Chain A
């Protein structure tokens, strides 16, 4: 028996060690680094377990106190002390757990300084604070009866406390009723988030009823556990009575729960084949239906296993009820589910472990349990009364009976210290990087960029060609007017291109060595040649890095070239090859444009348009020709329209202040007003004078004549809205 105790205490100290280390991490690194909480899951494991379930698990205190002191069931008096101690430690654990969860725990007494009595949480906080005090006063006689504390003042306090036992008990019952139910009322404010199977205007009744049942179940399971731990005999027949009482409370709870659903017209929702309905029945079955039915059977009730098993079902099920309300059935976005981090769970477990250490300490040094006696002892019922403060410590299972695992005079402290340190070390080993270094910015993995030495072939007056080693998969499609990428096909030339390589195309024997950057820009594992210098230049120099390099968005696979080059697919080809063939003399004319008779007749190996079409650019065109000259591609629609319209708008607004509205050059002048959020389909461009002449407003866009939204289509220059 004592071995069990030693082993348990060692494990408890180990868990306390984990807690100790996590405490440091939690307060140094903050909630984001230690928990899995998010803005859409602001309450997580700590609230659901430490606070919601913790308070409910400690309900045994007021239930037993009412049974013994108010309803005069003296037979159950032996349960009073452990139940009150459990409740006191439970509430203390709630308060400690709350310190971890609160963002600013040093403000925990602010509700007293700045009360806001419209908040349910305020009521809960006040009740918990007061009830913690009441529980302390209820339990303090047990401390004060210790032989070493028999000083005159303390004895007087002891007597005074005993006189107010009944008022204290009544206050405790009232406070418990209030906050056990108010824990449910907390969710009344969220009718749009809590699932209708759980949301009820009378959720506080359900919370209170379930807390009473849970309190009884806790007394049962705790009695069995401490009997196992300290080697007592559990008072099975009394516990069976408690179990029977619990089953009636549970049946009431089930009736209330289902009746409430029916009254709200939500019963059909519970029968739909949804995940929430399944969860509802699972929770109701485990927490109430199954144990209530089991405890109705005398055969189950009278067997230790049956009684303990049913009580355990209630405990787990009712904790589940609170988790459902607080987390599972509480709406949050599907892409941001909440699952607690191991640190959250370990902190909660550690707090329970610490409370159990204190519990065991009290049991070892105070008369929490009545002294050992035979089950048939006639004074059994009276043995644990508050009055009998004599003959304490007759046979406390003290540490002296523990067989030391570590030798020496202070074996027990050494063992527990070792466990504590081991626990802390274990926690260090398990800490994630976020806890050590703080919460990090999320990253998306990409293939590392590569730098390659390549040769630029001199080619007069035309885009240069690059020769690349053959081990690279290159995306050339859609690159448009770029230098030709000539992947070397022969494997022996992989990885290096030497100057004077005889295998270079076009008969060239030397080129200019340059460094090329290959990027996995689409994050698909394939690289493209990336002109970094050109991007820096175009994007605005050295301060422009952020325009591209902020795009490490989590889960954002589309963070690619296309997120800047939004109009790259709108480029339209103005070159009509067939017409050129016909006019220039059929098949004989290929080499008139294309580079030599050998090799592919690609656009890249053709003359630029303005080699022939010298007059192609209008003399004072407002559209600036792209760098590199005309190459057969029209500028993208967006570039063209922005270049044409916006620059002119800006110029005109600046030139004629007052006459034209300031907003003429704003985005919305063209975007959005008629066709929300989209580019407006503009009619053919008309100068202001022409618009005026046709009786069109020069400022307000024409009213949209389109009916409901048309399907999105390609934007066409010159498409007139259907009249």
Chain B
């Protein structure tokens, strides 16, 4: 098995030159960004922009991209397995399987998957960690393009160690946390920063629990529900049916006793 790869983003090194963005666009053949109804900001992630440089309030750049969670919510949500997590890290997408339900977009805690709304035959688009380049032994296009080494690629363990080393060596420069080590069960894209990176997800302060587990807590009860409900219903039907039948018979017998030439009551209505 290949070692789990990862990307480490160091926002203190990023100068916001957007060479990663243009390299990504070139590599993945993405069209020009156009302002559209669903794309108010031209530098927002979209079906034509898998990674982007987001400016914080004071103008500092932070790169956004798919975080390639270790236990991805989108993969667990995908009804047809069009999204898959590869053992070496990337969360990849197979458009031939996708049926366009967009549950992945609802599920992602980082709001990453984007849709080709303008297309009559639309697909989900997101960063695929250039897995086709990884297969050729190359770096992801964005990593290769970064002139500042603000984004680096390697084994996840080693990058975690590197991130910790940087924080240890320059404690004044970084917050004492590696974003992505534990968030939603850990991600394959890590960040070290002097900023609070809570804005990368829908809510700040993500917990360490992997999101698919939340679903599984309910989904795992399905066999129990089937057996319980089926058993209950069958039992109720049998019991109540029998009680009704007995009651009808008793009533008929009583009727026969009291009024001898009574008409035989109709039975067998139930079936």
List A residues at the B interface (Cβ < 8 Å).
27-33, 36-40, 42-43, 66, 69-72, 74, 101-105, 107-108, 110-111, 113-116, 118-123, 125, 162, 165-166, 169-170, 173-174, 177-178, 181-182, 185-193, 201, 204, 330-331, 335-336, 382, 385-387, 434, 438-439, 441-442, 552-555, 663, 666-668, 671-673, 676-678, 709, 712
Contacts and interface: CB of A to CB of B under 8 A. Distances in A.
Contacts of A70: 233, 236-237, 240
15 contacts: A30-B117, A30-B122, A32-B36, A39-B117, A43-B106, A71-B240, A72-B237, A103-B101, A107-B98, A188-B218, A189-B73, A189-B77, A193-B203, A673-B13, A678-B59
Contact of A173 (B12, B61, B115, B229): B229
Contact of B77 (A113, A121, A330): A121
B241 A72 contact: yes
Interface stretch (B135-143, B155-163, B219-227, B257-265): B219-227
Interface in B101-115: 101-103, 105-107, 109, 111, 113-115
A121 B244 contact: no
Contacts of A103: 98-102, 115, 121-123
A385 B234 CA distance: 21
Given A192-B206, A677-B59, A554 B40 contact: yes
Contacts of A192: 109, 201-203, 206
B121 to A, nearest CB: 7
Contact of B111 (A37, A39, A187): A39
Contacts of B236: 70-71
B154 interface: no
Best-surrounded residue of B40, B46, B215 (most CB of chain A within 10 A):
B215
Given A103-B99, A201-B214, A439-B117, A193 B14 contact: no
B253 interface: no
A676 B11 contact: yes
A331 B148 CA distance: 35
Contacts of B34: 441
A675 to B, nearest CB: 9
B218 A201 contact: yes
A178 B212 CA distance: 19
Nearest to A707: B172
B99 A104 contact: yes
6 residue pairs, one from A and one from B, having the closest CB atoms? A103-B100, A32-B117, A677-B60, A668-B148, A38-B38, A107-B99
A385 B271 CA distance: 10
Size range of the chain B interface in the assembly = 35 or more
A29 B122 CA distance: 11
Q: SS class of chain B's interface: helix, strand, loop or mixed?
A: loop
A271 to B, nearest CB: 21
A201 B217 contact: yes
A37 B114 CA distance: 12
Given A162-B271, A678-B59, A42 B115 contact: yes
Contact of A40 (B56, B111, B121): B111
B168 interface: no
A116 B80 contact: yes
B56 to A, nearest CB: 8
A434 B117 CA distance: 12
A677 B76 contact: no
B250 to A, nearest CB: 16
Contact of B105 (A39, A118, A174): A39
Given A32-B37, A441-B35, A189 B107 contact: yes
B40 A335 contact: yes
Nearest to A98: B101
B115 A39 contact: yes
A204 to B, nearest CB: 5
A104 B59 contact: no
A331 B214 contact: no
B222 A178 contact: yes
A331 B78 CA distance: 20
B37 A442 contact: yes
Given A39-B46, A331-B202, A387-B269, A111 B99 contact: yes
B118 A185 contact: no
B194 interface: yes
Given A174-B230, A677-B60, A125 B79 contact: yes
Contacts of B39: 39
Nearest to A117: B219
Given A30-B119, A442-B37, A191 B269 contact: no
Contacts of B59: 677-678
B123 A676 contact: no
Contacts of A110: 79-80, 97-99
A673 B244 CA distance: 84
B117 A37 contact: yes
A174 B223 CA distance: 11
A190 B184 CA distance: 11
A30 B120 contact: yes
B42 interface: yes
B50 to A, nearest CB: 13
A446 to B, nearest CB: 14
Interface string B82-95: 10000000000000
B38 A552 contact: no
Nearest to A113: B80
B185 interface: no
Nearest to A166: B237
A201 B121 CA distance: 35
A188 B115 CA distance: 22
A186 B194 CA distance: 36
A190 B98 CA distance: 20
Interface in B15-66: 15-17, 34-40, 42, 45-46, 55-56, 58-61
B76 A119 contact: yes
B103 A121 contact: yes
A439 B240 contact: no
A114 B95 CA distance: 13
A170 B58 contact: no
Contacts of B99: 102-105, 107-108, 110-111
Contact of A119 (B12, B45, B78): B78
A347 to B, nearest CB: 16
A33 B118 contact: yes
Contacts of B206: 192
A177 B218 CA distance: 13
A182 B225 CA distance: 11
A74 B122 contact: no
B171 interface: no
A116 B79 contact: yes
Contacts of A181: 218, 225
B239 to A, nearest CB: 9
A116 B77 CA distance: 9
B229 A118 contact: no
Nearest to B96: A107
Nearest to A171: B230
A677 B102 contact: no
Contacts of A115: 80-81
B45 to A, nearest CB: 8
Contacts of B42: 553
Nearest to B216: A118
Contacts of A678: 59-60
Given A110-B80, A118-B76, A188-B214, A666 B40 contact: no
Contacts of B101: 101-103, 121
Contacts of A672: 12-16, 148
